Amino acid sequence: MTPTKDCLPIAQVLDTVLRVERDVAGFYRSAADRTNEDEVKRLFDGLHRVKQDNHPELEKVCREIECGDRAFENATEKDVHFLSAMAETSFYRQTGKVSELADPSLQTPHLLENALKLEKDLLLFYMKFYGMSCSAHRPLFSRLIETSQQHIAELNNVATRLGSRR
């Protein structure tokens, strides 16, 4: 599978996903410091730890993928365009603005809303990677998908509970 000239090189897409994971961890760190809700602070602290723990393994797999065509044996040109578009557009722009997403003036409901958006974008990214990747890398992306789904459920539950108390 050779990407067309209008796609980002796969190395750049992989660098983006690594940067995004790091930036999302930073968002959770900042958001935890800015919320006055103990439950939300604990949730954001936990999500921060998970993102930090995921990073070394994800980085290793991304470096392996970068070095071999076999890693994307199931990829189509459309898949590469999708990842390229996510990396070049809102996915990267949103996560790249961690300082804005965790702005001190934002209240807890907005921090939760931003966290949900980040996790949903990560879920889409990892689902596409799972579909494209070779069987050797699927366990990692499967775990990342499952983790993102859990994070979305946790964030949504907390947001719903806080919303009903207000």
Tokens of 118: 């980040």
Confidence of residue 6 (pLDDT cuts 50, 70, 90): very low
pLDDT, tens digit, 9 for 90 and up, residues 62-107: 777 665 545 566 677 777 777 767 766 654 455 555 556 666 667 8
CATH of domain 10-165: 1.20.1260.10
**Residue 15, pLDDT score:** 72
Q: Kindly report the backbone phi and psi dihedral angles of residue 14, in degrees, each rounded to the nearest multiple of 5, phi listed first.
A: -65, -40
HEC string for 122-162: HHHHHHHHHHHCCCCCHHHHHHHHHHHHHHHHHHHHHHHHH
Tokens of 160: 């719903």
Whether the CB-CB separation of 109 and 30 falls below 8 Å is answered with no
